[in-house]
Chain A
């Protein structure tokens, strides 16, 4: 009988033996070596063992009796240290065993990130039962803290398990959202929300710098300087094929042990299977292809013909109780690809299908995975879905019939189904109210309170009205933000505040966006709303800005840029003028004095921007933000310093206002003017905010314009002092920031809300103080010179010449 030696008692070799013994039980005399002191167990179920939802005994796939029944010589706990291919012998520390056929099933080794402290006791990988038991032991200390490095499948399962065991758990993840290889940002957002609701702290976009501790791990230090206390550090950042034996014995090894489609290595007597192999440039970490390999290898060992191994599409599931996600195929954005998106914010459901050439190529779903396998089948089979495209997202139950009625789902809701979560209103109560005569949303609100709080169920309530009243109900027709949503800007702003939505994925999901991540219309608006409402929680997204705001310079019609340094209140000095002149000469720029009392350097090449900014920064000049939806200029006259008619220090006030307001993002650009007397040399009466100084104080007006529309300012307030003037103007700007629709100038916004409401709101001392406080809080984040941040050698490469002529220059 031929001698078959197997190195590694893992899931792939175990399944291979099952096939072998089933078909040819007497073909080989089998010896299995395993570095672990145990036989084969279901490694993919280690996470439930960690969480306590399974016992080790339950996941043992081949027990001692099975090995005995199949006459397998078990050499468990005995690592193989070398292979002598010429003599066909494997060597352990104490013995040598001959083989006719050898199978490498050495699996994979966890990747340990090369940071200081990685070797400290208390740092564990997550690969086998011993690692699992080490984590379980660590959880036994009351109040123990765990840091899991890696927010992938394994890391999150570890985190959930350790939390269930009672630990305080933090997950550190380098990418911007969890499981970024399997999920898109929207699904990643829902997963994060779900895990955070279990008390797990999630840090995305976080990079580990070191593991700190003396005799054992005590904390994890992040690149941003944050330190997180830890009694246990779990490294779950990935795996790599365990190839040392293969390499040492001279087999062909790339990233893994190279095999052909029959699982043969470069030595005809040696085969390999499982996570240690590389086939056709691919590595394998999920169990499904490993089982396919096992079947092929069993056939090969029995010298049977059959289909060779072929890599196939894979799907992913997370083994955390209550987290339902499914991911399969490729869901990256790309030319020619289309998305179908379904969201049900109330039930936390997100589904996205990616279609290319009438074929489904990717599917991501969270919260409702019932149709996952059906979609997976369509992906694997390359089915032409053109005939079912309209109803595809609703799954197999809707195929073969008529197009889905969007109201059918609402009609099917049982009377006890909760519609308004805020006020606990069920569908039945709404239907009763309609039967009692309520015919529109306002009457439903009055009778039942449904939709009367956060308003996110408004659409559902309207659909119930439509179901019950039929043609007697007219859906309100307000202008939505864009084609991604039915909500208006005002709805979105209100819901971002009421629902405390603090990220773009949160907005897309919780407000039921019909696209995966918005479009060029809604993204800049939502980006502004989020940063205006949550300055400390939300990170500005440059990719959601127009090109000029991304580049911090206005592109001109010839593809060059204009550079406009800030001149506070229109004041400058000889040193600044020399620097501007030198810069113009050095970079070939032309100079223009603008209507906003500053000097524009025109014709600068994109690649020169960081250098010219550095030169201007050197004399203390900062960006004039001539390209932003934000504060532009504060124009002034010479005031009492020089003018015979000046009543107040208009220049000084303009400088104070500009220094207070610069850097703030606003719904549209904001221009100010301060005139020292009613002769109005600074033309303050056509600015967004204009101040006319008079003997008795300062007349503050708002809502002026001198562009496509010509508007004179309207009186907001008459202040006695400069301080009072600044306070009112800051409060007004913040009120505008918090309430206006994106791309509405102040005069348009005031026309909508009414000047009386603005005055009434700002006249309340506490309210005004709150607005000022919130403005200053926002400025603590955003009042910074973007030029200084980008005038570094590292950022220069971002300014390669890439012209985008789709936008006209602003200012």
Chain B
């Protein structure tokens, strides 16, 4: 069994990433407080954020907590977003907040913020189930305007497409070659927009409503350069607190999965590296610098199912 450690590679900083800021807010004494964040060069926004906290229903993180659903803001004015001024100064124009629940307990809220600029292509989408069909709840598409338009008119049945696949399998999925060979107009449009890689993950919330978050990446302005899906279910890894890397791709290392399909996936135990930290605490992590496997930053999210930490998804950018 190969054990995965964070690889000490030189840090790579992309000049143009799709996501500018990623931050984790955790509940503490009834408010959401900063746990970790990756702000790149946006020191001003980082300073404002580190001094901030949110009550339930307050600001974007508080709203995601109160509404128990992912929230997408494609503009800040009039939305209750608290850091509008600092965001404007940093050039940030959109944000997505994803609440991370274990059963009825809120573990954390992930917030990502993006900046509009010509040619920056990617997508962050929230899909919600209505009457047995997944429809787009909201999404941020950057320059992929037409793809966004098509997506708003698209719906998915169980098992179909990235959102439908994640929904029916209750498992994160990583799709390649999004633009080819799908019976959806959206697939054709994704190809035209240059979107090639898609990470989909279930967003469990109290009450049983089904949400799926999808992150779609284009090579020119990658949402991430490395994606990982770890399976942490006891039904898959046994009673130890451990996780297996069941799928992943990396610009540098290529495929990250077990080529023999023989159960020899990379494995980490609790507290071993960043993924191990998520495994140990059940809380998400945003890292920058040496802990990001040679990339500038990384996000690692736990996904709970039935009160148990089931999967961890990580992306590096």
Q: Which A residues contact B (CB, under 8 angstroms)?
A: 42, 44-45, 51-55, 58-59, 61, 136-137, 139-144, 160, 163-167, 197-200, 287-288, 317, 319, 321-324, 347, 349, 367-373, 395-397, 413-414, 416-418, 424, 426
User: Would you give the shortest CB distance from B253 to chain A, in whole angstroms?
Assistant: 11
| Contact assessment for B104 and A426 in the assembled complex, using a CB-CB cutoff below 8 Å | yes
| Contact assessment for A53 and B238 in the assembled complex, using a CB-CB cutoff below 8 Å | no
| Contact assessment for B168 and A322 in the assembled complex, using a CB-CB cutoff below 8 Å | yes
Counting CB contacts under 8 A, is B239 at the interface?
yes
A-B contact count (CB 8 A): 136
| Contact assessment for B261 and A166 in the assembled complex, using a CB-CB cutoff below 8 Å | no
20 A-B pairs within 8 Å (CB atoms) are namely: A52-B175, A52-B176, A52-B181, A53-B174, A54-B257, A139-B181, A140-B181, A140-B182, A142-B184, A143-B183, A164-B159, A164-B160, A164-B165, A165-B182, A166-B161, A287-B260, A370-B235, A416-B103, A418-B306, A424-B207
With A58-B176, A287-B260 given, name 20 new contacts (CB 8 A): A53-B174, A53-B175, A59-B259, A139-B182, A163-B159, A166-B182, A166-B184, A197-B158, A197-B168, A198-B169, A199-B159, A199-B168, A319-B261, A322-B170, A368-B234, A370-B233, A370-B239, A416-B103, A418-B306, A426-B307
Residue of B nearest to A58 (CB): B255
User: Would you give the shortest CB distance from B169 to chain A, in whole angstroms?
Assistant: 3
| Contact assessment for B236 and A370 in the assembled complex, using a CB-CB cutoff below 8 Å | yes
User: Would you give the shortest CB distance from A444 to chain B, in whole angstroms?
Assistant: 19
Q: Which of chain B's residues 164-209 have a Cβ closer than 8 Å to chain A?
A: 164-165, 168-171, 173-178, 180-185, 187, 207-208
Which residues of chain A are near B164, meaning CB under 8 Å? 164, 198-199
| Contact assessment for B173 and A142 in the assembled complex, using a CB-CB cutoff below 8 Å | no
Q: What 8 pairs between A and B have smallest CB-CB spacing?
A: A322-B169, A198-B159, A166-B183, A416-B103, A136-B181, A368-B235, A417-B307, A370-B238
CA distance A396 to B239 in the complex (A): 10
CA distance A324 to B254 in the complex (A): 25
CA distance A287 to B262 in the complex (A): 10
> Which of A144, A349, A367 has a CB less than 8 Å from the CB of B183?
A144
Counting CB contacts under 8 A, is B102 at the interface?
yes
CA distance A44 to B262 in the complex (A): 11
Which residues of chain B are near A160, meaning CB under 8 Å? 159
User: Would you give the shortest CB distance from A592 to chain B, in whole angstroms?
Assistant: 61
> Which of A52, A167, A288, A319 has a CB less than 8 Å from the CB of B177?
A52
| Contact assessment for A397 and B102 in the assembled complex, using a CB-CB cutoff below 8 Å | no
Residue of A nearest to B198 (CB): A52
CA distance A396 to B170 in the complex (A): 27
Which residues of chain A are near B178, meaning CB under 8 Å? 52
| Contact assessment for A321 and B103 in the assembled complex, using a CB-CB cutoff below 8 Å | no
Q: Which B residues contact A (CB, under 8 angstroms)?
A: 102-105, 157-161, 164-165, 168-171, 173-178, 180-185, 187, 207-208, 233-239, 247, 249, 254-255, 257, 259-263, 306-308
Interface of B is mostly: loop
Residue of B nearest to A414 (CB): B307
Residue of A nearest to B247 (CB): A53
CA distance A324 to B246 in the complex (A): 12
| Contact assessment for B183 and A140 in the assembled complex, using a CB-CB cutoff below 8 Å | yes
| Contact assessment for B176 and A347 in the assembled complex, using a CB-CB cutoff below 8 Å | no
Residue of B nearest to A142 (CB): B183
Which residues of chain A are near B158, meaning CB under 8 Å? 197-199
Which residues of chain B are near A142, meaning CB under 8 Å? 183-185
Which residues of chain B are near A58, meaning CB under 8 Å? 176, 249, 254-255
User: Would you give the shortest CB distance from A171 to chain B, in whole angstroms?
Assistant: 13
| Contact assessment for A200 and B159 in the assembled complex, using a CB-CB cutoff below 8 Å | yes
Which residues of chain B are near A416, meaning CB under 8 Å? 102-105, 307
CA distance A414 to B180 in the complex (A): 44
CA distance A275 to B28 in the complex (A): 60
> Which of A199, A287, A369 has a CB less than 8 Å from the CB of B157?
A199
User: Would you give the shortest CB distance from A435 to chain B, in whole angstroms?
Assistant: 19
Which residues of chain B are near A199, meaning CB under 8 Å? 157-160, 164, 168
Known contacts A198-B168, A349-B235, A418-B306; is-contact A54 B176 (Cβ 8 Å): yes
CA distance A52 to B182 in the complex (A): 9
CA distance A42 to B185 in the complex (A): 30
| Contact assessment for A321 and B173 in the assembled complex, using a CB-CB cutoff below 8 Å | yes
Which residues of chain B are near A141, meaning CB under 8 Å? 183
| Contact assessment for B175 and A370 in the assembled complex, using a CB-CB cutoff below 8 Å | no
Residue of A nearest to B158 (CB): A199
CA distance A144 to B160 in the complex (A): 12
Which residues of chain A are near B170, meaning CB under 8 Å? 322
User: Would you give the shortest CB distance from A717 to chain B, in whole angstroms?
Assistant: 44
> Which of A321, A368, A397 has a CB less than 8 Å from the CB of B165?
A321
Which residues of chain B are near A54, meaning CB under 8 Å? 176, 255, 257
CA distance A59 to B176 in the complex (A): 13
CA distance A55 to B238 in the complex (A): 30
CA distance A782 to B183 in the complex (A): 43
CA distance A395 to B240 in the complex (A): 12
User: Would you give the shortest CB distance from B183 to chain A, in whole angstroms?
Assistant: 3
Which residues of chain A are near B157, meaning CB under 8 Å? 199
| Contact assessment for A53 and B168 in the assembled complex, using a CB-CB cutoff below 8 Å | no
Which residues of chain B are near A322, meaning CB under 8 Å? 168-171
| Contact assessment for A324 and B247 in the assembled complex, using a CB-CB cutoff below 8 Å | no
CA distance A660 to B238 in the complex (A): 58
Known contacts A141-B183, A418-B306; is-contact A367 B104 (Cβ 8 Å): no
Which residues of chain B are near A395, meaning CB under 8 Å? 238-239
**Of B103, B157, B164, B249, most A-chain CB atoms within 10 Å:** B103
Residue of A nearest to B175 (CB): A52
User: Would you give the shortest CB distance from A320 to chain B, in whole angstroms?
Assistant: 8
Residue of A nearest to B259 (CB): A42
CA distance A397 to B239 in the complex (A): 7
Residue of A nearest to B171 (CB): A322
**Of A136, A321, A367, most B-chain CB atoms within 10 Å:** A321
User: Would you give the shortest CB distance from B153 to chain A, in whole angstroms?
Assistant: 13
| Contact assessment for A424 and B208 in the assembled complex, using a CB-CB cutoff below 8 Å | yes
Known contacts A317-B261, A369-B236; is-contact A165 B174 (Cβ 8 Å): no
Which residues of chain A are near B237, meaning CB under 8 Å? 370
CA distance A288 to B237 in the complex (A): 22
